[in-house]
Structure 1
Amino acid sequence: MPTWLRGVVDLGPGISEYLRSSYRNIQEVEAARIQEAYDAEDEGGAFEFSAAWGPGNESRNRYSDIVPYDSTRVVLMTPLEPEESDYINASHVHGLPGTIPCIFSQGPLPETIGDFWQMVWEQNSSLIVMLTKEEERGRVKCSRYVPESVGGTLTCANLGEILIKMESEESHSNGEVILRRLTISSGGKSRELWQLHFTAWPDHSASNPASVLSVIDLSRELQKQGASAGATGPVVIHCSAGCGRTGTFCAIDGVLRLLEKTKSPSDIDEDIIRKTVEKLRESRIAAVQMIEQFAFCYEAVLYRLLEWQHGIAPGRPDWIAQAPSKLTSTSPPDGATPRLGNQGLNG
């Protein structure tokens, strides 16, 4: 086990307080950063939100409190009519060195579906990871932005015209994972891309580590396929607001990428989960939005370490000795969550 993670686990009953304290500090740093931006008299600071409130842009935000920083927002290359706006509620996000950049986006509104597809086209993205249902507990979380069925099409007026066609749709894990192969066309050119839709992650909460890890693994394979076909743009990840589940997914993936590259468990001497969340929040407000999601990052990383030890997951670093047998009854079974003392985290 990495030295920094062993230090967290060895806290025993003190883990809950460690997580609360760490998350509280992340929240306080972000709040101070935003307040400083509001108080600054000069414009153009790294943590300002002026574009989000520009003419015609406010209505393009699903939630008024989750908007992109000016410094990291995705800028549409062809301005939108009639305001000539280049705004979309999406952010270029960078994690710690050694991870890959991606785009965090809100779930499209009915009036921003075309803007969303314009962004995907202009950014040369080959994969969209969707981490929300279209509707949860009677509330719309994301407008449907793909065709209704295989062979169906959807047309947007952006860029003259953008045409989306669903080529195939596969359901896996009892409907928890839906994989859609799409073709996007504009200006006489076309390319294929994937939408990876994970439906088993309720808003403002954690999920099942085994399921999320399998989605991360699949997303990596799909990114490789896209890159080999020449679509080398960033993966687009969204939930409803584009911060909570989206940030958690990206944080787990980023930490695993760093662990896969390390040569020794002692190579990293600081909590890279906390450092990753801190770094993500420099690009997107409220990334990893809830403390339950913050704790889930640790659970998922611990679960992957167990999978590596038992030889049932890709990317195992050389410093992890493989166990002589598969997971036993004393190890968390597939689909179970290795709890990390997160009871009472809201206290």
Structure 2
Amino acid sequence: APSVPKNLSVVAEGNNTMRISWDSVSGQQDDCQLWLRDPRNGTLPWRHSLVRGQVQHLLQGLIPGRNYSVSLSCVAGPYWSSTKPLAVTMEPNPVKDVQCLPESRSLYLNWTSSPGDVEAYEVVTERLSEGLPTSKIVTSIPTSEVSLEGLRPNSSYQIVVSTVGMNTMRSQAVTLLCNTTVEALPPPLRADIFQVEASSTVIISSDLFSEENGQIEYYGVVATTNDSLLRPTQEIMSSTWYDHYYGTEDSYLAVLIPNPFHLSPRSSPETWRVPVGTEECGRSRATCNGKLKANEQYRFSIAAFTKYDPVAPAVTFTMFSAAGSGTDATPLSMPVIAGIVVGFLLTLAAIFALIYWKQLRAKRTKKSSLPQEMVTYSLRNIHRPIPIQNFKQYYEMKTASANHAFFQEFEELKEVGKEQLKVEAELPANVSKNRYPHVLPYDHSRVKLSQLGEDPHSDYINANFMPGYTSQQEFIATQGPLKKTIEDFWRLVWEQNVCNIIMLTVCMENGRVLCDHYWPSESAPISYGQVRVHLLMQSSSEEWTMREFKLWHEGLQAERLVSHLHYTAWPDHGIPESTTSILTFRELVREHIQNTKDAGPTLVHCSAGVGRTGTFIALDRLLQQMKQEKVVDTFGVVYSLRMNRYLMIQTL
């Protein structure tokens, strides 16, 4: 028998290369061969003939994360001999592009896997205190995403992600730091005790709330005339003084101030006096410390915010104070509201007035008189459309008395549609796909994605079909994508044959992420699931940016062109500075829609997909109605939108 090579050894170099070496073979041999066996490959093993005197060989192009066996054999005449197979383990490839999406008590992670065999991914989570690890959680998962639950709010975590190959060997680790967000404060430490002076002045104590979940950023005062309420609910955050004074709300956020106890550590006060009813209102309607109603008993609650967000605040309330004496009965003195545009209906009214007055000047038509009897506004008797020739008088009447009539009209729409079901959006598997926990799509009008595999919840996205002027599904209103829903967003665009995306928000405003960046910034294409997006063109002006994308579907092997019209001059919970600007942008959008008549719905989004999104869709509908029917039915349009998506046109 021929001599067998001795001292066979294998050293892995990287994760796809191995160097095999052995001692020189003595004696008579006709041929020696190197054998490589792949236990996962059913074909014949790979073999390589060696030259006489060869003592090493470099094997490349192996699969990371896989087990191999190596042996040497020699032949002399009819005789054959071989070394024992030597097992070789290839290190798996590390993961790439690890992203972290934090919540208060959880972290959602996803990453991109590299080529090679993967048995699982190992995620090691360590909470850090003053830079040192305090606890460790090891998680093994089969997919390239994980939601780490049960974490502490406002804490730093070190995350280590490794690939585990079929051979149980781990790859080089990828390490990142991720912080959970702040959470609502724990209950006050002083049993809800605080002082209210006879002049409706609330005394806030610096140690009324604990800061163990993070520093308090803002304090607020909630006022109520409801004598049965024990403590405010988070929904009260969306109620304003205008809703209370002119509407039917009995409770509202009266005051919102930055934390006064962190102004200067050396001279920080122990208490802070907050008068309620001072008639101080800024340009924003988010909070207005307006006059209290005469002959009403008011009670107050103190709110503490670790994060202030009008839609989803991190807030804790004290119980309401005991009822005090009623306020003096004095004549109403409305605060001065800067500008006549204070919200959606006023914005529309100003736009319609501008258009009407221009038409009036051009046509030199005569002024018509205001009808003697105006419509009685109620939901049972839906408001009649206003003829264009009467709109100037209607507008002047509505804006009289500090816009009182507009506030009353908007109040009637507050409950429209709210009784409709939102079951799918509230399922545990879908909750994390919603940007704001209180802005959820109605079941009857939600846009359904195609189901992926066996996952019954993969058809969910926070989006609704919305009626336009010409079709009941002319638009899709959706939220600004989250990192974890970007693939779903592009799947929606493809499946609904969307050719025009209208974006009405910036991605970040005042330090708050309003929408995650979901398109490629450079010309290099990026794949989002099955859809590859290629930026073909970008053209920017002062108030908007136009982009053209080419979409390629990997599975269907098909491509489409999509326009992206991005209006950047509309602040969150605010209005554009110029009606001319938004009118011009709307004309641009309408031109794109007309040029793609055979396409699917036009997709419109802002951050929550209700405020600016609803206003823009309503504006487009009303302008078409004015052109075709010579009437304006603001109430009817808003009513229709609110029946199809929760909170459309969020505030006045």
In structure 2, distance between residues paired with 1:88 and 1:108: 10
Superposition TM-score, scaled by structure 1 size: 0.71
CA displacement at 1:209 relative to structure 2:
1.1
Bigger strand fraction: 2
Report the Cα offset of residue 76 of structure 1: 0.4
Q: Of residues 576, 584, 592 in structure 2, which corresponds to 1:214?
A: 584
Counterpart of 1:282 in structure 2 is 643
Q: Deviations over 1:157-193 (max 9, x none)?
A: 2xxx110110010001x2x211000011112000101
Query: Following superposition of structure 1 onto structure 2, how do residues 224-243 of structure 1 map, counting pairs within 5 Å?
Result: 224-227=594-597, 230=598, 232-243=599-610
Does the 8 Å contact 1:184/1:190 carry over to 2? yes
Give 1:83 deviation, angstroms: 5.2
Given the alignment of the two structures, is residue 52 of structure 1 paired with residue 425 of structure 2, yes or no?
yes
| Equivalence for 2:527 | 155
Partner of 1:298: none
Q: Using the TM superposition, give the Cα deviation of residue 224 of structure 1 relative to its aligned residue in structure 2, in angstroms.
A: 2.3
1:199 maps to amino acid: T
Distance 1:202 1:273, change over 3 A: same
Cα 1:22/1:79, change in 2 over 3 Å: farther
Larger mean Cα displacement after TM superposition, 179-188 or 98-107: 98-107
Cα distance in structure 2, aligned partners of 1:57 and 1:244: 22
Unaligned runs of 5+ in 1: 38-46, 292-347
Q: Which residue of 1 aligns with 2:438?
A: 65
In structure 1, what is the Cα distance between the partners aligned to 2:583 and 2:620?
Answer: 8
Corresponding residue number in structure 2 for 1:314: none
Alignment match of 1:248 (pick from 612, 615, 618): 615
In structure 1, how many angstroms separate the alpha carbons of the residues matched to 2:456 and 2:528? Answer: 18
Q: How many residues align?
A: 262
CA contact under 8 A between 1:99 and 1:254: conserved in structure 2? no
Matched, 1:129 2:502: yes
Decide whether aligned partners of structure 1 residues 62 and 4 sit closer, same or farther in structure 2, where only a CA change above 3 A counts. Answer: farther
Higher helix share: 1
Letter in 2 for 1:156: Y
| Corresponding residue SS for 2:462 | strand
Of 397, 407, 413, which aligns to 1:20? 407
Query: What whole-Å deviation, never above 9, does each CA across 1:61-101 have from its counterpart, x for those lacking one?
Result: 00011010000100002347755421000000114667872
Change (3 A) 1:54 1:165: same
Residues 97, 164 of structure 1: alpha-carbon distance in 2 compared, 3 angstrom cutoff: closer
Judged with a 3 Å threshold, the aligned counterparts in structure 2 of structure 1 residues 272 and 80 are, in CA distance, closer, same or farther, namely farther
Task: Name the CA distance, whole Å, in 2 between partners of 1:278 and 1:218.
Answer: 26
Q: Deviations over 1:134-175 (max 9, x none)?
A: 0011000001111012x2212122xxx110110010001x2x
Deviation at 1:226, TM superposition (A): 2.5
CA contact (8 A) 2:448 2:460 kept: yes
Normalised TM-score (structure 2): 0.39
For 2:413 and 2:402, locate their aligned partners in 1 and report how far apart those are by CA, in whole Å: 17
Q: Could you tell me whether the CA contact under 8 Å between 2:450 and 2:458 is conserved in 1?
A: no
- Quick one: structure 1 residues 279 and 256, their matched pair in 2 at CA, closer, same or farther if it must change by over 3 Å? same
Relative distance call for 1:62 and 1:253 in structure 2 (3 A) is same
List gaps (5 residues or longer) in structure 2. Answer: 1-355, 357-387
Question: Does structure 2 conserve the Cα–Cα contact (< 8 Å) formed by 1:9 and 1:15?
Answer: no
Maintained 8 Å contact 2:469/2:624:
no
- In structure 2, give the amino acid aligned to 1:194: S
Q: Out of 446, 450, 457, which is 1:77 matched to?
A: 450
Q: State whether residues 56 and 83 of structure 1, in contact with CA within 8 Å, keep that contact through their aligned partners in structure 2.
A: no
Question: What RMSD over aligned residues (CA atoms) do the two structures have, in Å?
Answer: 1.9
- Name the CA shift for 1:80/1:110 in 2 (closer, same or farther; >3 Å): farther
Runs of 4+ in 1 over 3 A off after TM superposition: 78-84, 95-100
- 8 A contact 1:98–1:258 mirrored in 2: no
Identity %: 32
State the distance in 1 between where 2:525 and 2:471 align.
38
- Give the conservation status (yes or no) of the 8 Å contact 2:430–2:457: no
Output the CA distance in 1 between the equivalents of 2:497 and 2:471. Answer: 22
Q: 1:83 to 1:100 in 2, by over 3 A?
A: closer
